[in-house]
Structures are given as C-alpha cells and as structure tokens.
Amino acid sequence: MLKPVNVIVDRDIPYISGVLEPYASVRYLTGSEIRRSDLHDASALLVRSRTHCDETLLEDSPVEFIGTATVGTDHIDFDFCDERGIETASAPGCNAGGVVQHFFTSLYAVAQRKGISLSGKTLGVIGVGHVGSRVADLAEQLGFRVLRNDPPREALEKLAPGYFCPLQRLLSESDIVTIHIPLEYNLNFAGERFFAALRPGALFFNASRGEVVVEEALLAAREKLSAIVLDVWRNEPAINPALLAAADIATPHIAGYSQQGKVNGTVAVVRAFGRHFGIDPLKEFSLPTQVRPLDFAQKNQEQICEMLLNRYDIWADDAALRADPSRFEQLRADYDYRLEF
C-alpha cells in the first residue's frame, strides 16, 4: 500500500490544478512565499523558479522530492539536496519553442520598426542547447549565416570542423547576437570586454538569465548597438529603470511562456512525481496541446514579420511592462500563454 503523500504546489504552475488530488493531499501556495514552516508534513514540493530550495527552506523538513516545472535550476541547491537524499527533477527543454518564438518575433519586429534589413546578416548564437540549437537551425532555414559558440558542447562532441566558433570571432563577425546559456558558471558572462568586442551596430538579445549580463556594461555600450532586446533582468522582479528605458523591446521573463512550453513543464514534473512515489497513473500523464504551424517559405522580411506579430503581439508585452514595471510578477502570473509557430 502506498504511503500518504502530502505535496505543496506553486499555485502558478499551469494546468496542474486537480491533477494530483486523486493520489495525494495537495496545498497550493504562492511560490515566492513558501516557507520552512509550510513543510512540516510535506513529502514533496512542485515549484517554479521563485522558490529557493536550499537549507534555509528545507532544513529539518520531511521533503524527499522536489520537482521544478522550469528549465533553469539555479534556485535549487543540488549539493544540499544530494546530501539529504532529496530527489530533484526539472523540465529541460520544455520551453524551447516559446523562446524561439520570442526571439524571432522580437528580431523581425525590432528590425522592421528601425528599418534594418536582415538580408545577408550573420547571427551569433551563444549557447547551443535545447533553445540555441533550434534558434540556429531555423535561422539557417531563413537565410541567415549562423555562428555557434558553446565550449562545453564543443569539448564533449566531435562535430564537423567549424561547427562551433570561438567567442571573439563570433562577437566580431555577428550582426545579431543572442545568449542562451545557463546561469551556472556564467555569472557576469557579458561584461565590459564582451561588449567591447561586439561588432558596432549589432543587435543584442538576452532571454537566458539577467545575471549573465553586467547591466552597467550593456548600458555603456548602448550607443554602439543598433538594438537591445531583453526578457530577463538582474534582481527580478525589481528591474533597472535605466536598462528598461534603453531596451528597444522589454518583456517580463515570459519568453518561454507558450501554451506548449507550460504543458511540457507541468507534464515533466507530474511524471517525475509519479515515478518517485510509485503512482502509476501519473507516470504517463499527458495534456493536450494545440499546434498551428507557420510557413515562412518564399516570404520576404515584411511578410515574415507580419506573420509572427499576428501570432504573438510582442509589442503588447513590451507596453505592459513599461506601463508599470512594479507589476513584473503579476504580468507573469496572469500571462495568457500564446501558441507557438
């Protein structure tokens, strides 16, 4: 007979309400407000990035499983969890399609608004994992020359010579640079030397983590850049008002907030929860999603831009954040998950 399972769930994990109740006792709390006192009888935590799962939260708790419905895991202290025998699970790649959509929509939108031709441009992709690889592949299909930089992958994989590119070469040759790296080992990755090496007139994008960019260095380089697009910020939910003003497109950490991405994240943690506690019906849990592909073949830049904006009005997200940056968390919590392309 299975032992009773008490689980605390971040109330903002989408599509999870009612899923666990047939098999566990569930409490829904706001992720940023989960405290040690809430865990006195909890066997499991299902969270997002706003719950810091470390000694402060978990010491002397009965928690044996933590699932985060996110790609990023820098909010989890894995050393502490390993030491205490707490199993952890995440959702790698779950939001890749949404971030790809955010990148290309913002790229074409800002280029059209500023009169920048994308024909013949070189795109530099820093970090070629779940997201970066898809950005690079679609960019090549759209006619961009693509440079890829990913030293960890390059060290592990024997790919064709020239598949990966040294960072300095990428920065000096790329008209567009986008960052898709984890925060781990990459704090302050893009600092003064990074932006000094960047090609004048480049377009700069960051939808990875705010802390990989030194904001003062980016602000100092503003005049040499044709455009800045940011979805992530240091010290979220508080954001730097000077950087908000300097950005051409600014969104509240919602690049991956597609319907498919959220379904993927929730499915991943529910299945992991089911495996850990031996709950067979949850091991193959699934949710329906919608797919509405876009066909970019034989389309010019203006037509592609129109198609992308018809699917996702990124300017509306930009306007909402600028209207009241203090609503950063509320904008995320109330977000109407969009369909990918």
Q: Is 48 a catalytic residue?
A: no
Looking up tokens 């319907």, which residue turns up?
259
The encoded tokens of residue 339 equal: 């369909």
Q: Does the annotation mark 180 as catalytic?
A: no
Greatest extent of the chain over all pairs of C-alpha atoms, in Å = 66
Residue 2 CB-half CA count within 13 A: 14
- The answer to whether the beta carbons of residues 94 and 299 sit under 8 Å apart is no
- CA distance linking residue 238 with residue 273, whole number of Å: 32
Which residue out of 180, 209, 276, 332 is catalytically annotated?
209
Order across the sheet with 176-179: list the strands.
Answer: 145-149, 122-126, 176-179, 203-206, 227-230, 249-250
Catalytic residue flag (residue 102): no
Let me know: does 4 contact 25? Beta carbons within 8 Å: yes
Q: Which of 48, 50, 199, 253 is catalytic?
A: 253
Where does 50-108 show beta strands of DSSP type E?
65-68, 87-89
For the record, the structure tokens of 96 come out as: 């890749």
Alpha-carbon distance of 52 to 30, in angstroms, equals 12
The rounded distance, in Å, linking the Cα atoms of 174 and 183 is 23
From the candidates 173, 192, 236, 306, give the one annotated as an active-site residue: 236
Q: What is the C-alpha to C-alpha distance for residues 141 and 131, in angstroms, rounded to an integer?
A: 16
Residues with active-site annotation = 209, 236, 253
